[in-house]
Structure formats: C-alpha cells, structure tokens
A and B are shown apart, each in its own frame.
Chain A
Amino acid sequence: MTQSMLIQRFIGEPGGLLKALHALQNSNTNNFLSPQDLELVSGAFGVPLAKVWGVATFYSLYSTIPRGRYIIRVCESAPCHVVGAHNILTALAKNLNICTGETTADGKFTLEVTSCLGICGVAPAIMINDTVHGNLTPESLASVLALYN
C-alpha cells in the first residue's frame, strides 16, 4: 500500500490528521515521519506544512528523525525516580553504548526518556515498542534486551 493510500480514509474525517500521522509512522521501517510524509499529509488534508510540522513535533509519540526498530522509553518521572530509574537509564546507555535520543549503529534500538507511563505499580518501568517491562534492576536489563535478539 502506498503512503497516500494509507492516509486516504482519514481525509475528511474530523480530527483525522493525528490518525494519519500515526498510520504513516507505524508503516515506516525507521519509526519516524519523514519530510515527504509531512508534505503528503499537508497536501492531502489541505493544511499548511507548518501546521502538520507543528502537530508532528508537539506529541512525544511522533518523531521527525529516523529511529531504530525498537524504541526503548525509560520512565523518569518521580515514582520511577525514587526506586532507581536513573540507574536503569545509565545501565541501558552503557549496555547499548548510546546516549539518550540516539540509535544503535545497527539500527536496532533507540533510547528515549519519557514521562510517566502509568504503570507505577511495577516501577521502575520501561516500554520497548508496545511492551512494558517493570520491576527492573540494572542486572535484569540484559535478559530483557535479550528478548529482542
């Protein structure tokens, strides 16, 4: 399916712009919205490119830079912070040899920080794509990452 077919059904739907962006990002192997994607949406919805760009950069689930196949989101809000989220982030960065916001050289993992994931019952928690992993320790991270090999 081409990109323009993908967003066809959202055109004319009230508030369909966000859904179109979701659909385009999900279909992109690099998990991001390319400049071409944004121009496509702008033309199809008949709204200025600046507006589409504004929406795409407003929400944290969208990215305008290419990302890895697996996006690791580390919660660094207070409930995770008090039970050691900082150690998790440090250990992940060391393990993957990247800083926050970067992607591993093989294009596999992108490391991001996020606000509360609403899963504080199992803090400290991270999300890898749609899957949440909780009650983490720096030691248990290796086995979590191994699930994605």
Chain B
Amino acid sequence: MFYRSHVLVCTGSNCNIKGCQGITEALRRELTRLSLEQEVRLVETGCLGLCEHGPALVVYPEGVMYVRLTAADVAEVAEEHLLKGRLVPRLLQPTATVDSGYSLNMSPFFSKQKRIVLKNCGLINPDSIEDYVHADGYIALATTLDTKTPTDVIDVIKKSGLRGRGGAGFPAGRKWEFTRWATGSPKYLICNADEGEPGTFKDRLILEGDPHLILEGMIIAAYAIGATKGIIYIRGEYDLSIRRMEHAIAEARKLGLLGQNILGSELEFDVEVCAGAGAYVCGEETALIESIEGNRGEPRFKPPYPAQQGLWGKPTCVNNVETLANIPAILQHGAEWYQQIGTANSPGTKVFTLTGNIINSGLIEVPMGITLREVIYEIGGGIPEGRSFKMAQTGGTSGGCLAEEHLDIPMDYDSLAGHGSSLGSGALLVMDDSHCIIDLTKCFLKFFVHESCGQCTPCREGTPALYSIIDKLSRGLATESDMRLLKRLSRTMQSSSLCALGQTAPVPVLSALVHFNEEVEAHFKGDCPTCKCHTARGGRQSAN
C-alpha cells in the first residue's frame, strides 16, 4: 500500500518513560477521526536521539520533527500538518524554524552525525523483520555466506581496523582470529549487553531500536569464528531490550536465519537471551561468563583467555553490542570504506550518550576524532541555564574528567588515553561550573566501592580507602600523608587489580589531581570553591 506520509513515533526507553504510549494512542485516534488511516502510516520506532526533548515524532517525507509532545499536541499535529499540510512551529525541534529550515537533516544535531550503527534506529519498526529487510537488512549476511570464506571475513574485519566498542578497544578481527583457530568444540559467541557503565545507554537503545542488526552481526561473526551457539547477555533491568530481542530471535528463526542451514548454507547457529541479575562487574568478559554459568560474577585470571577457555571451558568470543552492530555495514561496503571514516588508529564511528548539563542530552553517532567542543556545543546544543562549561567525563565513571583546555582534542582511543581519560563505552557526562570536582570524585568512588566484587585485595580494600581519603579531603581534613597515600594507592590498584574495574577505579581520582589541581589544593586548605562540600571553613550552601 502507498502512504503519502509516514509518522515515526519514538518508542525507545527514554521516550517510553515520558509517555510515548499516550502519544501513539492519541495519534491513532486522530488518524481514524480524520480518516487518514489509508494515507498516513504510523510506525513505532526506536530512539530518535533527542531524549531530552521526548516524547518526539518525525513526519516523513518532509523530515519534520516535533518534540515535547502531549496528547493534545498530537491532535494539533494531525489536524494541521497531516491533514492541512501546515507546520506547527511551536512544537518543532529546538534548532528548527519555519523559515530557516525545518528538516531534520538541516539541524546540527543530525547533520554532524554519521550513522552506521544507528542507521535504522528511529526509522524502522524494531519489531518487524520485514522493515529491517526493506532497509537492506540481512543482505550483508547473504552475500558473505555466498562469496566469502570465514577467513576472508576475518581478514576484512582485521583490515577495517574495527576496535571493540565495549571500552577496551581491542582489535575485533584479532579476537575473532584467536577464537577461530582455538581448538575445542562447540565454540560460543557472546554478545555483551550487560551495559552498566554510568551514563551509558547506547546498547540499550541499539537493542531496542534495531535488534536484527545485532543478530545479523552475530550470525556473520559466528560464521567467521565457527561458533554454533550464541548468547546475548542483557542486564536484568533492560526489560524492553530483552523483549524486543526475544521477539527478533523468534522472527529470525521463522525465516531460517537462525538454526540449521542458514539461508541454505551449511551454517548452523542459534541464539538465546540470558538476563543478568545486577552486577556492574559482569560487563567484564570473564565475569560475564561466570554469571552465565550460574556463579558469582567474579572475573577469572587471564590467561587462559576466553578465546581458549571461555564458557563451559570452550573457545568463546565476547563482543560488545556496538562492535557487532558495525559488522554488517563493514562487510557490505568493504574495509576501505570503513577505514576512511574516523581516524587512522580508530576507524569508524562511535556512539555516544550525552548526559548531565547539556541541552540535547541523548544518543548520537559521530565519526571518531570529532572534538569534544563539536559534540558539546554543536550537536549537544551547549550548556543550559546560561552557565558555563567546567568539565566533561568521557568513558563513564571509569574515565577521567577533562577541563576546558581539552575541548579541542580529538575523541578517539589514543588521544583520550593520552590525556588521562578514555573513550570507554561512549558515555559523555558534561558538567557546568556549579559542580565540584571533589564532590563528583566522591560520587564516582562510591560507585566503585559498591560495585567492587571483593575477589581481589587491591580493589576490595583499595576502593573504600580511596573513598575515605577523598571524603576527608571534601571535609578539609586530609593530611599531606593522605595525599601521598592517595597517589601510591592509585598506582598499586592500577598495576595489581585483577580486572579493569580495580585498574580503572583510580582514573577519575588521578585526572582530578592533574586537571583540577587548584581545586584539589583549595579543598586541602579547607575551602570548597563551589560550596558543594562540608569543608572545614565553609558549610554546604547549595542543597545538592
């Protein structure tokens, strides 16, 4: 059937909370009332990205986005735009105006993005495999099975330079190669969707917005490494992700995309969803494997690496959701195409989640190497309430805080690591000048104290010890020897903790000491410049 208009309503988690169900129902009622059901198609899609301004919808082919909607607004949009063809200026997205351009693609929030992973997010109905296939879905899989051997696939991924998007940035092709050549059977492929890094919600929205993309990436990966069994480990709190993924798996099975003889080939592969039970450390691949096996999620000693001895002692490859989501596009367009995007050492794009004091908080995908300034001011719309930028934490709570002088460094694995931070999971927490570095560092450390699994001593004992020194500092009670201990303890934890949790817990502390030394000194002298801390000299003035 031909429709003259498509209305895409975001049904991602953020908009869900803001009441998008009411919007969809209201729109459906209005389309019936105005007898437009045969002309206008309503599509419930995944995240559109502008989470701060939800609930939102887009009308195509014009590409007009309406934001912060109520059920009453929907009636106006239906009547004015869909029936009479007139814009509703007061509901347009923040940077759009009737005169200067109202199309989605003209707004800096969208025009500066490069969408590979999110290409279908907010455009297709995630619960419809037909929608995914219409958007060129499963083409990469079909041509790969037809024209490439597993080693060819690994070569393409190695050549593309794709690095793991879960945080560590390990070359994906090499990880696949290790598993491919490991001895043991069966082999397992695990999609790590135990997203727990504070400020990160990209995997959730990718799973909710385009579950088949992950499945396609997984099937190709399984073909490359020789895995017959796949597990998607999704954190227990991600109710909607679990439901959409299970639905997608059932649809794919029905069409012969999972199971035996996939697309008529020799390939056999099936996938199941495993729900987590709430532990940040399970994002670490060996802890995740322990959790799937029904144990406490405590990381294992490495080596042996999962590629040799992973789930149930068999060769296992663990890839992040976003890594797998890049696979179909790389195979479809080639390694050279992918390498041209981003920087030499970090090719491709990165999905970021913008949070904190930023106007357009939400979900974006940009080429690697874009500057923090472009992300915060052009895409993010800047700092709200007329305040000024103070710092940004990249890579989540295990990343460092960057100051104003770092706004122009390129966002990629190596540049950020060179400035004591990390690209990590793609969380970007922006803070204005009302915030105190010590108060925040305390908040970061409280997280690690809670999430340390307690298995290894440096992390179990180190995280509360770091917290107690920062707590003393926040009260203006820290001594010279405390400050020395803070640095020594940080180094010990970085070098001797068993897993990345303990190794990275001191990162925000060290970055505070380097980039915000003046403010740290002030606290040492008993003064909190932003009046957030109960220091010796001044009480807390602000309520938060």
Contact = CB atoms under 8 A, between A and B. Distances in A.
A127 B13 CA distance: 13
A115 B237 contact: no
Interface of B: 13-14, 16-18, 51-52, 54, 195-201, 204, 235-239, 274-280, 291-298, 312, 353, 355-357, 361-363, 393, 397, 427, 429, 431, 435, 440, 443-444, 446-447, 450-451, 453, 543-544
A22 B312 contact: no
Contact of B446 (A76, A125, A134): A76
Contacts of B238: 118
A22 B278 CA distance: 12
A78 B443 contact: yes
B402 to A, nearest CB: 14
A108 to B, nearest CB: 22
Contacts of A76: 443, 446
A121 B353 contact: yes
A15 B294 contact: yes
Interface in A7-59: 14-18, 21-22, 51, 54-55, 58-59
Nearest to A130: B239
A135 interface: yes
A22 B393 CA distance: 35
A127 to B, nearest CB: 7
10 contacts: A17-B295, A76-B446, A79-B356, A82-B356, A87-B543, A116-B198, A119-B13, A119-B204, A121-B363, A132-B16
A130 B298 CA distance: 26
Contact of B355 (A16, A18, A120): A120
A83 interface: yes
Nearest to A123: B355
A115 B447 contact: yes
A66 interface: no
The 7 closest A-B pairs by CB, nearest first: A121-B51, A59-B277, A17-B294, A77-B198, A121-B14, A60-B278, A116-B198
Interface string A74-88: 001111011110110
Nearest to B277: A59
A61 interface: yes
Contacts of B355: 79, 120-121, 123
Given A78-B198, A83-B357, A87-B543, 7 more contacts: A54-B296, A58-B296, A84-B544, A116-B200, A120-B201, A120-B361, A134-B14
Contacts of B274: 15
A18 B198 contact: no
Given A87-B544, A120-B199, A120-B201, A60 B279 contact: yes
Contacts of B544: 84, 86-87
A133 interface: yes
A61 B278 contact: yes
A133 B429 CA distance: 20
B233 to A, nearest CB: 10
Contact of B201 (A15, A59, A62, A121): A121
Contacts of A16: 294
B446 A22 contact: no
Contacts of B446: 76
A21 B198 CA distance: 26
With a 10 A CB-CB cut-off, give which of A17, A59, A114 has the most chain B CB atoms: A59
A99 interface: no
Contacts of A118: 13, 195-196, 200-201, 204, 235, 237-238
A55 B296 contact: yes
A87 B544 CA distance: 6
B199 A79 contact: yes
Contact of A82 (B14, B357, B451, B453): B357
Contacts of A60: 277-279
Contacts of B453: 58
Nearest to A54: B296
A18 B288 CA distance: 13
A80 to B, nearest CB: 8
